[in-house]
Amino acid sequence: MIIRNYCIIIENGAFAYILEKPGVFVFFKKYFSDLKKEFKGYNAKSLSKDLMAGLTVAAVALPLALAFGVSSGADAAAGLVTAIFAGIFIGVFSGASYQISGPTGAMSAILLTLSVKFGIQGVLMAGFLSGAILVLAAIFKIGKLVSYIPAPVITGFTSGIAIIIALGQIDNFFGTHSEGSDAIEKLISYGELGFSPNWTAVMFGGIVVAIMLLYPKKLQQYIPSSLASIIIVLIINMIMFPDAASAKAAEVGSIPRSLLTDQALITNGFDFSNIKGLITPAISIAALGMIESLLCGASAGKMKNERIDAGRELVAQGIGNMLIPLFGGVPATAAIARTSVAIKSGGQTRLVSVFHSVTLILSMFLLGGVMSRIPLSALAGVLMVTAWRMNEWDSIKQIFGKKLKESRLQFLVTMAATVVFDLTIAIVAGVVVAMLVFILKSSKLDVTASKVDADKLSGKGISGDHKGTRVLYLTGPLFFGTQDILTNKIHELENYSDLVISMRGVPNIDDSAINELDSLLTELGSQGIHMVFTGVCPTVMGKMEQAGFAEKVGKDNFYWDAVQAFKGIEDSKAVKA
């Protein structure tokens, strides 16, 4: 057997069987080839840059991992486990050297509703299934579909997720209690349950928000505002309430010094009892993972001037999300905040992702006791500010500032659908609206009627005056949505015996419009009106021939331009005479 290039040759005597090399061979060959390029010339200096970048990313990821773990319906430990294993599993196989994955706000917004309905075990099972779906998406190259999602739809989806995150943190921020399976239901439930804020919790959350909003940009490169605000509130909480029992605001609680949470699938096994109900959520999770990861890769790739391998990124995301639930982590995806920090901090290779995970592991084992005293309202404050910053304000300003009505509609429909329904419905709704708007804009048919100007025909061999000839100039597609425009215009014409329909501006036609032309041909023919066509493009003529309409009209009644049509009309009258 000989392996050569992209095929396997199996020799058997005088025969040789040539088999196409399996995709997995191509995948790993490309992967190792990219690794060689990535680590070419790697030295101690490069290692130190990756290490420092990893530490910086971990400083950003730590408070977010805790916050997103809690906001997903799980706990802070699950958020840490997710960030740790996403950094290792997904980071190592990622489609680019710069991607940093972990729990995200958009993902936690979906998971919160899922956890209410199916519990944490349901979240983990859905995460596992989503991983398998992402691998299949990579195999069938479905990732290309992301490029077909309009920008206003993405912006609207992001804003919708931001609203869900903010609404979902009201309880933690204010120390209140609500009921319901989603953010809207929880908000409505305050009308029945009442709204009595815990002012200690509000104070802690308010401090975090104030620090993050007023934090000097110069200090951001040394210690992120989210981490600084959490540390300050943590110190205040421990001074005011020395032990957890005396605390007046809910805290994160015990963080086990283990890389396995109590809900880990490895120890609890797979529960297939709700598998049918988890298919749709799993598709939503996979769709979100695909969209976030590929958009993050495209955006960050411009920053580092390195193009992401979309197929391998989806495989990495898929493998990661199949393995993470085994340890009790929630679904993860690439995060632009952490990824951009990695690049701006001088990260050289994918080892940044691994170093960030190692740092988080050390934090879990060394600082677990301290982190357990972090007030939940402080994490809620981090998420409130994160939700605000998630909005693509420049894009939103452009959409509403330049009076782009179609973009506004796409944005608002997607945002509303994201809040009221879910990701899958929101994206579909946004794309459908975009398609309808595009169809309506591009399907406009202009029909202009004109009499024949005898002066313009002088010297062109036209002998008749053609006072009874009318010319209709059509511009735009002729299909079921526009055919009535043509019909109505023809019915408005008066005192004519010959009709020239100029179709040079008609790029396409459908069967319904051809049937309408057929009816008009019969109707006008019964009235003694002669109909001819000019400038019919090959595509439209092909459809007319397939439908048998061209044969019915007669090939002699199709002309290149109006002048030829006028001559043809004259010849036809001469024959009849």
Q: What is the pLDDT along the chain (577 residues), one digit of tens a residue?
A: 444 444 544 455 444 444 444 556 677 888 999 999 999 999 999 999 999 999 999 999 999 999 999 989 899 999 999 999 999 999 999 999 999 999 998 898 889 889 988 999 999 999 999 999 999 999 988 888 887 888 898 889 889 888 988 888 899 999 998 887 677 788 888 888 888 999 999 999 999 999 999 999 888 878 889 999 999 999 999 999 999 888 899 999 888 889 999 999 999 999 888 899 999 999 999 999 999 999 899 888 988 999 999 999 999 999 999 999 999 999 999 998 899 999 988 999 999 999 999 999 999 999 999 999 999 999 999 989 988 988 889 999 998 887 778 889 999 999 998 888 876 788 788 888 888 887 777 778 999 999 987 777 666 667 667 889 999 999 999 999 899 999 999 999 999 999 999 999 999 999 999 999 999 999 999 999 999 999 999 999 999 999 999 999 999 999 999 889 988 888 877 766 5
Residue 39: inside a domain: no
Judge if 451 and 432 occupy the same domain.
no
Judge if 321 and 351 occupy the same domain.
yes
Tell me phi and psi for residue 506, to 5 degrees. Answer: -100, 110
**CA 178, CA 191: separation in Å to the nearest integer?**
10
Judge if 333 and 248 occupy the same domain.
yes
Q: What is the DSSP letter of 404?
A: -
Judge if 368 and 495 occupy the same domain.
no
Judge if 239 and 288 occupy the same domain.
yes
Residue 2: inside a domain: no
Judge if 164 and 194 occupy the same domain.
yes
**CA 516, CA 415: separation in Å to the nearest integer?**
40
Residue 55: inside a domain: yes
Judge if 399 and 515 occupy the same domain.
no
Which of 389, 412, 437 is the last residue before a domain boundary?
A: 437
**CA 261, CA 264: separation in Å to the nearest integer?**
5
Residue with token string 């976030």: 292
**CA 125, CA 268: separation in Å to the nearest integer?**
11
**Contacts for 411 with CB less than 8 Å, ≥ 6 apart:** 152, 153, 155, 156, 159, 396, 399
SS3 160: helix
Which of 405, 437, 469 is the last residue before a domain boundary?
A: 437
Judge if 218 and 273 occupy the same domain.
yes
**CA 465, CA 223: separation in Å to the nearest integer?**
86
- Tokens standing for residue 303: 């920053």
CATH number for the domain that contains residue 560: 3.30.750.24
Judge if 261 and 395 occupy the same domain.
yes
CB 503, CB 474: distance < 8 Å: yes
**CA 309, CA 99: separation in Å to the nearest integer?**
11
- Helix (H) or strand (E) holding 339, with range, is helix 336-344
Residue 41: inside a domain: no
Burial of 308 (0-12, 13-18, 19+ CB in 10 A): buried
Angle in degrees, 0-180, between the axes of helices 483-492 and 511-526, rounded to the nearest 10: 20
533 closest CA partner among 502, 498, 571: 502
Residue with token string 């060959």: 29
Residue 462: inside a domain: yes
CB 563, CB 460: distance < 8 Å: yes
**CA 257, CA 371: separation in Å to the nearest integer?**
12
Query: Residue 431's domain spans which residues?
Result: 48-437
Judge if 396 and 354 occupy the same domain.
yes
| Amino acid (1-letter code) at residue 13 | G
Residue 264: inside a domain: yes
Which of 415, 437, 459 is the last residue before a domain boundary?
A: 437
Residue 430: inside a domain: yes
Residue 17: inside a domain: no
Burial of 291 (0-12, 13-18, 19+ CB in 10 A): buried
- Rounded to a whole number, what is the distance in angstroms from the first to the last CA of the chain? 84
77 closest CA partner among 196, 255, 227, 248: 255
**CA 296, CA 88: separation in Å to the nearest integer?**
18
Distances (CA, A) of 215 to 56, 235, 347: 17, 18, 24
Judge if 221 and 202 occupy the same domain.
yes
Domain count, the chain: 2
Judge if 417 and 494 occupy the same domain.
no
CB 84, CB 377: distance < 8 Å: no
